[in-house]
Amino acid sequence: MFKKVLVANRGEIAVRILRACEERGLQTVAVYSEADRNALHVRYANEAYLIGPPPSSQSYLRIDKIIDVAKRAGADAIHPGYGFLAENDDFAQACIDAGIAFIGPSPEAMRAMGDKVTARRTMIAAGVPVVPGSAQGLRDDEIAAEAQRIGLPVLIKASAGGGGKGMRVVRTESELTGALGAARREAMSAFGDDTVYLEKLIERPRHIEIQILADSHGNVIHLGERECSIQRRHQKLVEESPSVAVDEALRQQMGQVAVRAAQAVNYTSAGTLEFLLDQNGNYYFLEMNTRLQVEHPVTERVTGVDIVKEMIAIAAGRRMRLKQEDIRAKGWAIECRITAEDPINNFMPSGGKITTLQEPTGPGVRVESGIYEGFEVSLFYDPMIAKLIVWGENRAEALLRMRRALNEYRIGGIKTSIPFHQQLLSSTQFMWGAFDTNFLEERFSMTYIERPEMEISAAIAAALVAHSGEQRATVMHHGGRPTGSAWKRAGGWKR
């Protein structure tokens, strides 16, 4: 096992990894920018080193500085967290060249799955279902013909991208030229690569992902699915495990496909296969995230597996102690991403000093945070400042527990996304699980006024559905009004 680990990240994920290292008995090293001198991860680590000015391009993205700190500190491993350099194969290779273990997949696997066009080819060869689309980057003069072959509507996607960057929906031929130019410009600005490809647009899908773990001894397992359909501009806001739209047969089928996909690129460490699930129960490979996911705690909570500790052990060359038959999910977990944004004002960023902080506690509640009272929230970085995770015996209990925890959460001095999450959990459609990736844009509004009787009705409906055999058939209609005895007993549609 390693002796000292450097965490090449900041915020709540840096603290999460530092805690896992401490529980492993490992010494820890933090790096920080000038804006993060007083950050929580800096205070938590055994050692901390300044690596540059606030802009990430001059600090957290500087491979040379991070490797230099690791050498000076005597770190024998680096964990990249997520974001920044987490999926940068050059960084992974630089660690290896410096004789430092990279706690993540190999550079070769990252390259194979990091480029979306290459990943599509690899998955097709492995027999993994993919969204109909182009198999390679296209020239402008090829786009129109390919769009006709696939059939409108289509999605233009940046080959090197993620997070919705370089992505445009095209529904008519007249939109194609403008959308293509905009996608290429955005992709070049964000990733330095304007290569794009086309995918058939799957209307009103669910976003389902499968967590996998793989060691260097050929063992690969999956940890079930996560539901990630609550998104705003392709950014996830709420995640849960399991999904109301996935039954046991589909879970095992998707899990086996995810394992096969990981084996196709000789993958090691933690990784996530993302899929689109259509209204008929068909699923299609979307992409693979070759890193730890923001939403990993919900999987940890229902399976009892500490994914970060497993990553550390795998990077040290150890054989996984877990086999597929050991994975038995229990209960339901939900995560709300707490961001420094104003949901009433179109999610505008909100920086400033945290004047008060009261975090929720109690049974089944977990908070992963990068802030404290008096901390200055910077606008230089991603607005996520904490994650609130709850667990319940079933979805109804998890929803009610999350409502309670959100009501307890107090962050003063800045605007946060807490009001958004409170509003979302008052939505009857969300309670029923009748949503898809377009739910927030098409069928949700922050202007809705809560009423106690509607809250009670929604909670009762959720509790009934959680124990009803009608559940999956209902939610697969993605927002269509549920029918059946359980629905009628709950009093019908209240919102």
Parallel/antiparallel/unpaired status of strands 269-277 and 283-289: antiparallel
Rounded Cα gap, residues 265 and 270, in angstroms = 13
In Å, what is the CA distance from 109 to each residue of 52, 53, 263, 431?
Answer: 30, 32, 10, 39
Fill in the amino acid letter for 174: S
Residue 480, C-beta contacts closer than 8 angstroms, at least 6 positions apart: 434
According to DSSP, residue 224 is labeled: E
Parallel/antiparallel/unpaired status of strands 348-349 and 341-342: antiparallel
Residue 191, C-beta contacts closer than 8 angstroms, at least 6 positions apart: 158, 160, 161, 165, 166
In Å, what is the CA distance from 243 to each residue of 210, 298, 333, 458?
Answer: 11, 11, 10, 18
Rounded Cα gap, residues 423 and 415, in angstroms = 15
Instruction: Look up residue 157 and give its two tokens.
Output: 């996607």
Nearest one of 208, 295, 224 to 13, comparing CA atoms: 295
Would you say how long the chain is, in residues?
495
Rounded Cα gap, residues 93 and 110, in angstroms = 10
Instruction: Look up residue 230 and give its two tokens.
Output: 């609550």
Rounded Cα gap, residues 4 and 70, in angstroms = 9
Which of the residues 62, 184, 291, 401 is marked catalytic?
291
Count of other CB atoms within 10 angstroms of residue 204: 16
Say if residue 257 is exposed, middle or buried (CB neighbours under 10 Å; 0-12, 13-18, 19+): buried
Distance of CA 310 to the CA centre of its chain: 18
Residue 5, C-beta contacts closer than 8 angstroms, at least 6 positions apart: 17, 21, 26, 27, 28, 29, 75, 76, 77, 78, 79, 103, 312
Rounded Cα gap, residues 305 and 307, in angstroms = 6
Verify whether residue 24 is a known catalytic residue.
Answer: no
According to DSSP, residue 175 is labeled: G
Count of other CB atoms within 10 angstroms of residue 192: 8
**Residue 110, SS3?**
helix
Count of other CB atoms within 10 angstroms of residue 309: 15
What positions carry a catalytic annotation?
291
